């Protein structure tokens, strides 16, 4: 097999060494445009997991790396002169020059051909002359651009400028230092990579970089200015450069990684922000996977397909974590008002890979200090601390999210709703929310949707609230009011979600006559008179909700239903006072909010659910969501329930664990209003992490509560918590411990004799 490798960085060199080691008959050539000793950056961090893979795949390389690694366990977060240290993290780093030397030596010992200071031939020519071409040519990959119609790259440029520098002394921890300057916030990321050297990355938002005048400085002047700003962290020592320049990070994603016998590897295929130290790690892991697949599969096409299938999910997960970390640093200014330890905890958990429970295992003392500062009583996880909204005090931070059940008859909730909601209230959640209760028959999504537009519906709901208050003392129950808008008159979810009814349709209404998707009913555009009628329907439903005994009311302004349809520019094309600018698009939802708030009891809280992004070009943005939340808060909303999407059928959500939380976090920090986070929050560890970091005040979970109605009580049991935040109903107390599945504490059989005397 003839193999051509474009790019002599760590990923390309390691792939070359592995391929040759696994099959000495392979002829492997590496083209590198730079000289052997030319490289960007200084230190490289590798995880224990990656090192384990290297040790297994090539012990020679591992042993050479092991001799040069600098190891440490601590992370320091320094802000306003106060340092907080967290231990137990485990890092290993070495110089990038040294890493390349080790790989050069290994490649030469295996008989590889390394062509330095040489441009690789065009990729199409290489693909004709070789059985396999590995494009490890970096973030600006010529290979990727040459065949962009096939690879379909998406390159996102981000908001911060950064420069990669070094200092001639070793930090004794991974150091994050925040500088609040007259021009804005700047941050330092530093870590040791040799006994006498540290990598130092200086980063700031573009507007701060320009305001501070870095755009007008020479490279050396920039280095000197950075050393002055972070003189305390550096102990007055200078910084040095290696042809370093200010740049912006670019996230690279490709739909495909291979084309014929050409395959992308490392930064050519994907990038992940340096704040989680993953670039070299991912490239090395790519090389391991590619070499393994070429060994295991019968031919090159099968191997490349297997390589993509194996690596894409891993890389996507890392990129999600890196994106969360990157955006945290982009929005660093939002967190400067947090208490010192909470700020440090927030930084450590920014990527969602380090969590409350994980950090507690690494450094119990640090985590306990954060909890004390937050106000957790001894032995109380953050999720079981109370939270107050107006006259309502919730016993814990867990919310059963509104979930449409499609099981009502003529809008009347029945036995199913009593059991469904009653079970979740008995299950320990602080707040149980109903599904969207529709304010009119025409405002239903499906014929099975519940309502609050008639007295008998209110009476049926009263049966549910009475049960919750009587049988699950301490649990609160809230109602969500809404109108389906253009998404109404459709089949039950399990019969065909968002599909029109085959018969018995009712006319649907919307801000503008735009169908939800092809084949959907075209809605009628609401007239002024109809707007008034609907506003009064909401107020009447709220009055019934109060009479029915609900503790909290939420106005549904999300997911493309009627009020959401006014907020999004994609669904509101009106030219009157209710369309156009965001202020005008807000007008009718705010009118409805005011009408509902006027009849809803003053001591009971009212929240608003919004879609913080439409996940579609030209739709609601995160910046719009902040202003929408600000407007509702100004009108008296006690909390904003932050969801996303479902506004237009052509949306492209970026799914992932806790993927909607950053939108809630931003609203909380900028608007200073309590927020409910929702969306793929599935573990009690996630809830603890989000609450303790100050990114959310409450967490709403849907599917976990379908899987386990007693999710909250089980979360308490699994954490060993017994207290007022999670009280087991008296009939259930015998089940407050997990049933044993088999004896695990029996004496072990003696299998050997001890001859020690």
Cite the active site residues: 561
472 neighbors 732 (Cβ within 8 angstroms): no
Kindly tell me the sign of the dihedral angle through the C-alpha atoms of 524, 529, 535, 537.
Answer: negative
Structural Rg of the chain based on CA atoms? 29
CA 546 to CA 220: how far, in whole Å?
68
184 neighbors 159 (Cβ within 8 angstroms): no
154: CB partners within 8 A, 6+ apart = 252, 253, 254, 255
- Between the CA of residue 182 and those of 5, 209, 238, what are the distances in Å? 48, 12, 22
Which DSSP state fits 382?
G
- Consecutive H or E run containing 172: none
Burial of 100 (0-12, 13-18, 19+ CB in 10 A): buried
Which of 738, 693, 704 lies closest to 328, judged by CA? Answer: 693
CA 136 to CA 5: how far, in whole Å?
7
CA 160 to CA 327: how far, in whole Å?
9
Per the structure block, which two tokens stand in for 352? Answer: 């969602």
Q: Which residue reads 């992004």 in tokens?
A: 613
CA 242 to CA 42: how far, in whole Å?
8
3-state SS track over 607-637 = EEEEECCCCCCCCCCHHHHHHHHHHHHHCCC
Q: Which residue reads 């670039």 in tokens?
A: 279
- Consecutive H or E run containing 76: strand 75-79
């Amino acid at each position: 097999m003839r193999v051509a490798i474009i790019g002599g960085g760590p990923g390309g060199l390691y792939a070359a060494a592995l391929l040759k080691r696994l099959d000495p008959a392979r002829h492997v050539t590496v083209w590198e445009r730079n000289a052997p000793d030319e490289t960007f950056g200084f230190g490289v961090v590798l995880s224990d997991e990656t090192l384990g893979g290297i040790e297994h795949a090539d012990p020679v390389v591992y042993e050479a790396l092991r001799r040069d690694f600098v190891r440490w366990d601590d992370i320091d977060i320094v802000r306003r002169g106060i340092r907080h240290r967290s231990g137990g993290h485990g890092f290993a780093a070495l110089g990038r020059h040294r890493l390349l030397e080790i790989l050069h030596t290994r490649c030469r010992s295996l008989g590889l051909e390394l062509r330095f200071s040489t441009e690789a031939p065009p990729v199409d020519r290489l693909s004709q002359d070789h059985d396999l071409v590995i494009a490890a040519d970096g973030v600006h990959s010529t290979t990727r651009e040459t065949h962009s119609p096939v690879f379909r790259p998406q390159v996102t440029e981000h908001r911060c400028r950064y420069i990669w520098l070094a200092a001639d002394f070793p930090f004794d921890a991974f150091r994050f230092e925040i500088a609040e300057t007259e021009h804005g916030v700047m941050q330092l990321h530093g870590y040791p990579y040799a006994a006498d050297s540290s990598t130092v990355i200086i980063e700031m938002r573009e507007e701060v970089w320009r305001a501070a005048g870095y755009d007008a400085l020479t490279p050396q002047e920039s280095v000197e200015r950075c050393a002055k700003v972070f003189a305390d962290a550096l102990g007055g020592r200078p910084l040095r450069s290696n042809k370093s320049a200010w740049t912006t990070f670019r996230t690279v994603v490709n739909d495909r990684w291979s084309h014929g016998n050409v395959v992308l590897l490392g930064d050519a295929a994907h990038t992940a922000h340096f704040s989680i130290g993953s670039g070299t790690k991912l490239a090395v892991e790519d090389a391991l996977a590619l070499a393994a697949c070429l060994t295991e599969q019968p031919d090159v096409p099968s191997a490349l397909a297997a390589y993509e299938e194996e690596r894409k999910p891993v890389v996507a997960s890392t990129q999600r974590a890196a994106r969360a970390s990157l955006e945290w640093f982009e929005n660093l200014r939002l967190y400067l008002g947090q208490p010192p330890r909470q700020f440090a905890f927030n930084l450590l958990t920014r990527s969602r890979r380090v969590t409350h429970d994980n950090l507690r295992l690494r450094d119990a003392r640090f985590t306990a200090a954060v909890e004390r500062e937050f106000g957790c009583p001894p032995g109380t996880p953050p999720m079981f601390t109370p939270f107050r909204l107006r006259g309502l005090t919730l016993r814990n931070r867990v919310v059963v999210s509104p979930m449409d059940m499609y099981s009502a008859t003529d809008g009347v909730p029945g036995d199913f709703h009593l059991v469904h909601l009653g079970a979740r209230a008995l299950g320990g959640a602080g707040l149980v929310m109903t599904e969207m209760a529709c304010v009119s028959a025409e405002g239903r999504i499906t014929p099975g949707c519940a309502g609050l537009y008639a007295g008998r519906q209110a009476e049926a709901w009263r049966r549910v609230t009475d049960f919750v208050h009587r049988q699950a003392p301490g649990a609160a129950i809230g109602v969500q009011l809404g109108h389906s808008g253009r998404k109404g008159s459709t089949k039950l979810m399990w019969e065909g979600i968002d599909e029109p009814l085959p018969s018995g349709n009712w006319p649907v209404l919307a801000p503008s006559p735009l169908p939800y998707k092809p084949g959907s009913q075209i809605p009628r555009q609401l007239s002024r008179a109809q707007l008034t009628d609907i506003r009064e329907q909401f107020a009447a439903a709220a009055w019934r909700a109060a009479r029915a005994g609900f503790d909290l009311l939420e106005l549904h302004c999300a997911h493309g239903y009627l009020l959401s349809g006014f907020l999004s520019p994609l669904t509101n094309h009106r030219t009157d006072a209710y369309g156009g600018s965001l202020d005008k698009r807000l007008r009718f939802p705010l009118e409805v909010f005011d009408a509902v708030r006027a009849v809803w009891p003053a001591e009971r809280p009212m929240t608003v659910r919004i879609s913080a992004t439409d996940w579609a070009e030209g739709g609601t943005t995160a910046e719009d969501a902040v202003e929408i939340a600000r407007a509702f808060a100004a009108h008296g909303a006690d909390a904003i329930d932050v969801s996303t999407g479902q506004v237009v059928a052509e949306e492209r959500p970026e799914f992932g664990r806790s993927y909607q939380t950053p939108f809630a976090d931003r609203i909380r920090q900028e608007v200073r209003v309590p927020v409910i986070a929702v969306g793929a929050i599935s573990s009690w560890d996630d809830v603890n992490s989000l609450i303790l970091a100050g990114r959310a005040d409450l967490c709403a979970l849907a599917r976990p509560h379908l899987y386990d109605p007693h999710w909250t009580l089980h979360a308490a049991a699994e954490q060993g918590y017994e207290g007022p935040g999670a009280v087991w109903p008296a009939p259930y107390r015998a089940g407050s411990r997990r049933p044993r599945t088999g004896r695990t504490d029996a004496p072990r059989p003696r299998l050997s004799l001890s001859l020690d005397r």
